[in-house]
Amino acid sequence: MIEKNIYYNIADLQLEVTLAQDCNIETLLPNFEPFRVEYLDDVIISCRIVMSSVDLEFNSDESKLLSDISIVWGDRFTFHEDDDYYWTLIQYSQDKTKHWKMRSSKDFKLNTVFSGDFESTKNSFISWFFMVAFAQSALLNRCILIHSSVVVDEDYGYAFLGKSGTGKSTHSRLWLQNIPGISLLNDDNPAIRIFEDNIVIYGTPWSGKTKCYINDKRPLKGLVRLKQAPFNLIQPQKSKDALLALLPSCSAIRWNNSLYSTLVNLIIDLISKVQVAELQCLPDAEAAQMCYNELRKDL
C-alpha cells in the first residue's frame, strides 16, 4: 500500500500521521486542518492509520485489562497492557469482536490505529485516539493536555476547570458576554507548555462539542476550578490544594508510573508559576467579573 505522511503542529510539538495515499485527510480529520504544517522539526508523536480488512493482532488472554471506564465511549471502551504495548479498544458493532483499536508503545510515541469497518461519518474515534496518544507523549516535552474551557484577551489566557456539568463552557460564555476583548480559544482540551521562564496555553484540535479549533496561544494567567454555589466567592489555592484542584483535569495514564510521575512534577512546577483559584459561583455576570478581577489584580 502506498502511504503518505501529514504533519501537524500542536502546542509547538509535531505530530506525524501516516495513512494511505488515496485517503482524504481533510475529510478524515477536519478539526486538524488549522494545525497542518510542512515538516518543521523533530516528530515527537507518530500515528499510523490502517484502513484495511487485516486486523491488528490483539490477544486479550495475554494482556491485562487496566480500565473499562470512559465518559465518551461508555461500556464500548477498554484499555489493556501487554508486554510490549498499550491497547485502546472501542467496540463499533453489535458484534462484540469488532473494535476500533490503537496499539501504542509504552511512551505513546509510536501508535497504530486500526479503523476496522470504517465509516467516514464516524471518524471521531480517530481524533480521540490521537488525543489519547498526544496527551501521554506530550508529557515528555513538558506539555499537559487539560480538560478545561479557555478564553483569551490580547495578552493572556484563562482556563476554567471542573467536573462535567459544572459549567465551564457557561462561565466562558459569561466572560465573552460581559468582558470586552475576550474570545474563546478552546472549549474542552487545550494544551499547557511549562517552560523555564513562561507558561503558555494553546488551542488544540480537540474542543469537545464546540467547534473551536484555533491554532493560537497565550501566556497563561490563571487556572480556576469551578464549583456551583448559591453565591459567588473566589479563593486562591496554594501547594497541596492547588495540586488537587488541577490533577483530576489533567490527562495521564495512571498505570504508567513514569508518565504519571512526570505529570505530577509538571503540575508542581506549574502551580509555582501560575495563579490557581477555586470559584464557587452562580452562572451570572458578577461571577465572571469577580473571576476576571482576581486573576488580573496584580497587573
Higher pLDDT, 42 or 245: 245
pLDDT in tens, 204-215: 999 999 999 999
pLDDT band at 140 (very low <50, low <70, confident <90, very high): very high
Q: Are 278 and 225 in contact (CB under 8 A)?
A: yes
Beta bridge partners of 146: 250
- Span 55-68, mean pLDDT? 85
- On the question of pLDDT at 119 being above 70, the answer is no
**CA-wise closest residue to 279 among 220, 219, 218, 237:** 237
Q: Are 162 and 224 in contact (CB under 8 A)?
A: no
Residue 171 to residue 151: CA distance in whole angstroms? 10
Handedness of CA 132, 119, 188, 190 (dihedral sign): positive
pLDDT attached to residue 61: 84
Cell of 25: 485527510
- On the question of pLDDT at 122 being above 60, the answer is no
Residue 9 buriedness (CB in 10 A; 0-12 / 13-18 / 19+): middle
33 SS3 class = helix
Residue 237, phi-psi category: left (phi > 0), alpha (psi -120 to 50), beta (remainder): beta
- Span 118-133, mean pLDDT? 79
How much is the mean pLDDT over the chain? 92
pLDDT band at 81 (very low <50, low <70, confident <90, very high): very high
- Span 228-232, mean pLDDT? 96
- On the question of pLDDT at 117 being above 70, the answer is no
- On the question of pLDDT at 98 being above 70, the answer is yes
pLDDT in tens, 44-55: 788 888 875 555
**CA-wise closest residue to 161 among 123, 192, 139, 133:** 192
- On the question of pLDDT at 120 being above 70, the answer is no
- On the question of pLDDT at 56 being above 80, the answer is no
Sole residue written with cell 493536555: 145
pLDDT attached to residue 285: 97
Beta bridge partners of 101: 89, 114
pLDDT band at 121 (very low <50, low <70, confident <90, very high): very low
Q: Are 111 and 45 in contact (CB under 8 A)?
A: yes
Domains and CATH numbers, the chain: 3-141 (no CATH), 143-295 (3.40.50)
Residue 92 to residue 75: CA distance in whole angstroms? 11
Count other Cβ atoms within 10 Å, centred on residue 184: 19
pLDDT in tens, 268-294: 999 999 999 999 999 999 999 999 999
- On the question of pLDDT at 42 being above 80, the answer is no
pLDDT band at 34 (very low <50, low <70, confident <90, very high): very high
Sole residue written with cell 459569561: 174
